[in-house]
Structure 1
Amino acid sequence: MQTAPLPHNEEQRLARLRGLGVLDSLPQKAFDDISALAQVICGTPVALITLVDRDRQWFKSRVGVDVCETPREMSFCTHAILNPEQVMVVEDMSQDARFRQNPLVQGTTNVRFYAGAPIVTSDGFALGTVCVVDQMVRQLHSVQLTALSRLSGLVATLLENERARQIEAARKARAVKQEHEELTAMAAAGLDLQAYIDTDGVYRHINQTYLNYIGCSREEIIGITVKQRLGEAAYALVGSKLDRAMAGETVIYQRVSDFKVAGSRHMEIALLPVRDEDGGITGVVMRGRDIQELKNKERLLGDTILQLERKTLEQERFIHIMSHDLREPINSINNFSSLLEADHGERLPPEARRYLGFVSAGGQRMASLLDGLLRYVRLDRHALDSGPVDVNLLVEQVRDDLSAAITQAGGQLDMATLPTVQADASLLRIALQNLVANGIAFAQPGVPPRVRVSATREHGFDQIHVEDNGIGIAPEHQASIFDLLKRLHSRKTHAGSGLGLSICRRIAALHGGHLSVQSTPGEGSRFTLHLPVPHGTPS
C-alpha cells in the first residue's frame, strides 16, 4: 500500500480545515442531500463527503457505510487532494499500484472503484472530496464526472458560508451564552424529543414535543439536573452514556421509556456532543425518536414470517400430493394403456386403436407435465450448493444426456472453450440441458439443428450463451416465453410442457442472475444465462 505524500501546504491546509469548525459536527441535511445526489448520479452503493484531517479521514456525510472515519493512511482521498484541479477516477483499484494492498481493497470491504472530486476552498486549499465507491469495476461518463465536480464545489461554498454564518451568530450571541446554547440545541429540527444539557448535567433547553410527552411545563424542567428529573434508579441506566457524550463521543441506544402522557414507548436516544468554535465541549443535545410504530411493524413482520412458514408447510404437502397421490393414477393410465396396446392392439378396430393412442399420448403428457411442475416447485426448496463449475465438463455431460435426441434429429452440439463459473453444478446442468434441448427441438423444417455453447464475461457477470439455428421467436412473444406453462406452438408440431424456460429463469434467479433472449424468426435464437462473478474476481 502506497501512502500518499503530504501536500506542500499541509500545515496551512489543516489550519484552514480546522478553522471552519466542521470536524465532528452534527449531521446536516444539506450535506446529506449532496451525498445522496452523488450516489444517484453515479449509480454507486456508497457516496461520501470526506474531510482529510492530520491522522484520519472524517465523513461529514455518508451513504452506504456505517463508520464515521478511517485512518488517513488507508484513505483514497489523500491521493485525490494532491491534484485539486481534477476528479480522480480509479476504475479498478486492485490493478492500481497505489491501492492494491490497501486493506479496504484486500479486505472484506472489497473496494474496486473510486471517484473523488476535491473540495477546494476559495483560497485554494483542498480539504477533502465528494467521492463515490463501488465493489465492482466500473466507469463514469463525462456528465457524471462534471456533476461530481460541481457537487464538490457546492460543498466548499456551503462550508465557507456556514463558517461565516457561525462567526456572525457567535458575534451577536457572545454576550448571551444561554441563547447561544439553545440555538445549538435547536439544530436538531423536527418532531423528535429534544433537550440541551450543559456540562454540569443541567437542562438548558427542552422542546415542546418533549414537554408534551412528559406532561410538564418548561419551568419545571429548565435549571434542574438530569439526575433530579430521572431519579437515582433511572439515572443509573443512562448516566454512563451521558458521561461518554460529554467526553466527545456520539452515543446512540434504544430503551423503553414510561412517559406521564405518552405512556410506554420504545425510543431511540441519540446523545450528540456540542462543541464551541474552539472545539471544546459545551454540552450535549439529547434527541429522542419515538420508534414504537417501527417496533409494532417489526412484530407484524414476524407474524408474516410465521404465516410464510405455514405456507411453506402447505407447499410441502402439495408437493407430496403431486409426487405420490397424482403420480399413482397417471402411472396406472400409462401402464394399462401400454398393456392394452401390446396385448390387444391388433384385435381392436381402427377407431378404438385411435382412441387408445389419444389416451396413451395424454397420459405421457400428464406424466411429463407433473415431472416439470415438481422440478419447478422444488427449486424453492433447493439449498444452493455454489462452487467452481467447469462449464466444459457440464456441456459434455449434457451432450451425453441428449445424444439420442441429437442423433435422431441429425443435429450437432458445438462448444467454444468455456470458463469455470461460480454456480450450483446440478442446477446449471438442468438449465443448460433445457436450453440445448430446445435448440434441437425447435429446428427449421429440412434444416439439421445446430446448437453452439459459448461464454463471455461483462459487467460483473459470466454470460453463458446457447445459440441455435432454429425457427426463432417473434419479437412480440419474446417477453412472455419465460412465463409458466407458456407455449407458442401446438403439441402436434412441438412436444413439451411449457415449463423448461420457466425453470431456466428460476435457476438463474436463484444464483442472483437472470436469463435473456435474442431471436430473429427464421434465423435462430440465442439464450444467455447471466451468472454473477464472485467478488474479487478479475474482469
Structure 2
Amino acid sequence: MARTQTVTAAPADPAGRDELLQEYGFAFAADEGSTHTPDELSTEPLKNLVQLAAKLCGVPFGVINVVTSDQQQQVAAVGFEAAVCSREDSMCSQVFLSGKPTVVPDASLDPRLASNPFVTGEIASVRFYASVPLETASGFVLGSLCVFANTPGTPGKDQLGMLEILARQAVQLLELQRRTLQLNSALSEVRESNAKLAEFAGRVSHDLRGPLTTMLGYVEMAGDEVDGDHPAAEYLQIIDASGHRMLAMLEDVLTYSRMGGALQRQRVSLQTVAAEVAKDLGLSFGSGAVLDAEAMKLHVDPGQLRTLLQNLVANAVNYRSPDRDLKVRISGISNYHGTTVFVADNGKGIAPEDRQRVLEPLVRLHRDGDGHGSGLGLAIARRVVEAHGGELSLKETPGGGTTAVISFPAGP
C-alpha cells in the first residue's frame, strides 16, 4: 500500500490584511509612505529578539518585517536603520506565505530573489538570507523574522531551530501588544461610559431632589399642624420616612456613579481617614472605642478611601448584632505585592452563599432586624477598590461578624 504524504497548505493572504495588522497597533499612512506603532507601545523587546537571532546565526543583520497589502515595514532591525519599502521590493514578501522557514545560502543564485533590489545592489547586496514566518495561532501571517549577511553562508540545524523558536516568541510579543491595545480601548470606553453615567445621575439626582425636598418640607409643616392622635399623623410619618429613604437612595446612586473616576493618589494615613469617618458617623474612635484603626500609610485617592471606609463602617452599624456592643477594627499588612486592609466588625455576619451577591448594586438581604439601606453601600466600596486596581471580598470575622478584605496593588 502506498504511503500518503500529508502536505500542509500555505497560509492565505487575507483581503483585510491591513485591518488585521491595525489590531496589533500598526497604523498605515499611505500619503506619507510610513508605518508606525502607537507611542505607548515599545519595539525594544522585539529588537532584543532580533539581536539574539542574528548572534545565534553569526550574521551582522536581522529584522522583524511586517508585510502590509502594499508595503514592508521593518519593525525592529539590528545592524542597519529600520525603514519602509514597497511589498514588491521586499525579499520576505516573496516567501513569508510559504508556511515554512526559508534558507537561501546565496540569494544571487536563487531564481526567486536574484533580481530583487536588496540583492542586486540597488538597495543592498544580500547574499545569505534566512527567514521564518510570523504566523499566529489563527493562521494569520504578520510578516517574518529574518537574518542575513552580505556574504554567502548556511546555518546549522540547531541555529535554524533556534530561529524558529525566536519567531514564535516574536509572535507572542505581538499578540501581547494586540491584547494591550484591546484592553486600553476597552478601558477608554468604560471611562467614557462612567463619565456619562455620572453626568446622567447628577442630572436625575438634581431633578428629583428638588421636588422631593419640597414634598418633605410640606409633610413637616403638615405634621406640625396635625395633632399626634389624629389618624393623618401616622400617614405623614410614613410619607416622611419613605421620602427620606428615597432621598438617601438618590445620594447613594449619585455616589456610586461618581466613584471610580479619575484618581488623585497620594500618601494617606489610614488612621486619620478612619478617625474622620468615625466623626462623620457619630462613633467613638480609638483604643477600646466602637471604631479603631492601625497607623499605616496607603497610596490611594483620599476622598475615595474615605467613601470606602464610611460605607463599610456604616454597613457594620446597620447590621450590628443585638447580642453585643458594636466593635469595628481596621487593620492592614503591606509587602512588595501591595497593601491589604481588613475592616472587621462583630455584627450579624453574612452567610457564605450571600457574600459575593451582596457586592452587586441594589442587593439587600431583607433579614429581620436589619437597618434601612439602599443596597449600594458594598457596591460603592467595591467600585472604589476596583478603580484602584484592587479587589474586595468578604469573609467571616473570628467569633462572628463580617470582615471586608481589601487588596490594593503596590503603588509608586
TM-score by length of 2: 0.59
After superposition, the C-alpha distances for 1:202-228 in whole angstroms (9 at most, x for unaligned) are: 5x3xxxxxxxxxxxxxxxx54742139
What residue in structure 2 maps to residue 435 of structure 1? 312
- In the TM superposition, 1:258-269 aligns within 5 A as 268-269=143-144
Match of 2:326 among 449, 461, 466: 449
Cα–Cα, structure 1 residues 271 and 394, in superposed 2: closer, same or farther, change >3 Å?
A: same
- Residue 357 of structure 1, CA deviation: 1.4
Aligned residues: 305
Q: What amino acid is the match of 1:271?
A: C
Match of 2:215 among 333, 336, 357: 333
Cα–Cα, structure 1 residues 534 and 299, in superposed 2: closer, same or farther, change >3 Å?
A: closer
- In the TM superposition, 1:234-383 aligns within 5 A as 239=123, 268-273=143-148, 275-277=154-156, 311=193, 314-315=196-197, 317-342=199-224, 344-346=225-227, 350-380=230-260, 382-383=261-262
SS at match of 1:512: coil
Confirm or deny: 8 A CA contact 2:219 2:240 kept in the other structure.
yes
2:381 aligned with 1:499, yes or no? no
Cα–Cα, structure 1 residues 445 and 191, in superposed 2: closer, same or farther, change >3 Å?
A: farther
Confirm or deny: 8 A CA contact 1:440 1:450 kept in the other structure.
no
CA RMSD of aligned residues (A): 4.9
TM-score by length of 1: 0.47
Where structure 1 has 5 or more consecutive residues not aligned to the other structure, the ranges are 1-63, 72-184, 205-220, 254-264
Confirm or deny: 8 A CA contact 2:340 2:405 kept in the other structure.
yes
Confirm or deny: 8 A CA contact 2:105 2:154 kept in the other structure.
no
SS at match of 2:333: strand
Confirm or deny: 8 A CA contact 2:265 2:301 kept in the other structure.
yes
Aligned counterparts of 1:477 and 1:364: Cα–Cα separation in 2 = 28
Match of 1:469 among 346, 357, 375: 346
Confirm or deny: 8 A CA contact 1:444 1:522 kept in the other structure.
no
Cα–Cα, structure 1 residues 419 and 190, in superposed 2: closer, same or farther, change >3 Å?
A: farther
After superposition, the C-alpha distances for 1:209-255 in whole angstroms (9 at most, x for unaligned) are: xxxxxxxxxxxx547421399xx9xx97xx35x85x9699x9999xx
Aligned counterparts of 1:200 and 1:276: Cα–Cα separation in 2 = 14
What residue in structure 2 maps to residue 517 of structure 1? 394
After superposition, the C-alpha distances for 1:131-163 in whole angstroms (9 at most, x for unaligned) are: xxxxxxxxxxxxxxxxxxxxxxxxxxxxxxxxx
What residue in structure 2 maps to residue 386 of structure 1? 265
What residue in structure 1 maps to residue 117 of structure 2? 227
State the structure with bigger RCO (CA 8 A, min sep 6), 1 or 2: 2
Aligned counterparts of 2:333 and 2:114: Cα–Cα separation in 1 = 71
SS at match of 1:373: helix
SS at match of 1:454: strand
- In the TM superposition, 1:167-246 aligns within 5 A as 192=99, 196-202=103-109, 204=110, 221-222=111-112, 224-227=114-117, 239=123
Cα–Cα, structure 1 residues 423 and 297, in superposed 2: closer, same or farther, change >3 Å?
A: closer
What residue in structure 2 maps to residue 412 of structure 1? 290
After superposition, the C-alpha distances for 1:53-105 in whole angstroms (9 at most, x for unaligned) are: xxxxxxxxxxx95433999xxxxxxxxxxxxxxxxxxxxxxxxxxxxxxxxxx
SS at match of 2:357: coil
Cα–Cα, structure 1 residues 297 and 387, in superposed 2: closer, same or farther, change >3 Å?
A: closer
Cα–Cα, structure 1 residues 267 and 65, in superposed 2: closer, same or farther, change >3 Å?
A: closer
Confirm or deny: 8 A CA contact 1:519 1:526 kept in the other structure.
yes
Aligned counterparts of 2:272 and 2:207: Cα–Cα separation in 1 = 37
What residue in structure 1 maps to residue 279 of structure 2? 400
- Residue 505 of structure 1, CA deviation: 1.0
Q: What amino acid is the match of 2:49?
A: C
Aligned counterparts of 1:393 and 1:511: Cα–Cα separation in 2 = 20
Aligned counterparts of 1:429 and 1:393: Cα–Cα separation in 2 = 10
Confirm or deny: 8 A CA contact 2:96 2:141 kept in the other structure.
no
Cα–Cα, structure 1 residues 308 and 462, in superposed 2: closer, same or farther, change >3 Å?
A: closer
Confirm or deny: 8 A CA contact 2:96 2:132 kept in the other structure.
no
Q: What amino acid is the match of 1:376?
A: Y
Confirm or deny: 8 A CA contact 2:268 2:302 kept in the other structure.
yes
Where structure 2 has 5 or more consecutive residues not aligned to the other structure, the ranges are 1-43, 53-91, 135-139
SS at match of 2:403: strand
Aligned counterparts of 1:457 and 1:305: Cα–Cα separation in 2 = 28
SS at match of 2:356: coil
Confirm or deny: 8 A CA contact 1:439 1:468 kept in the other structure.
yes
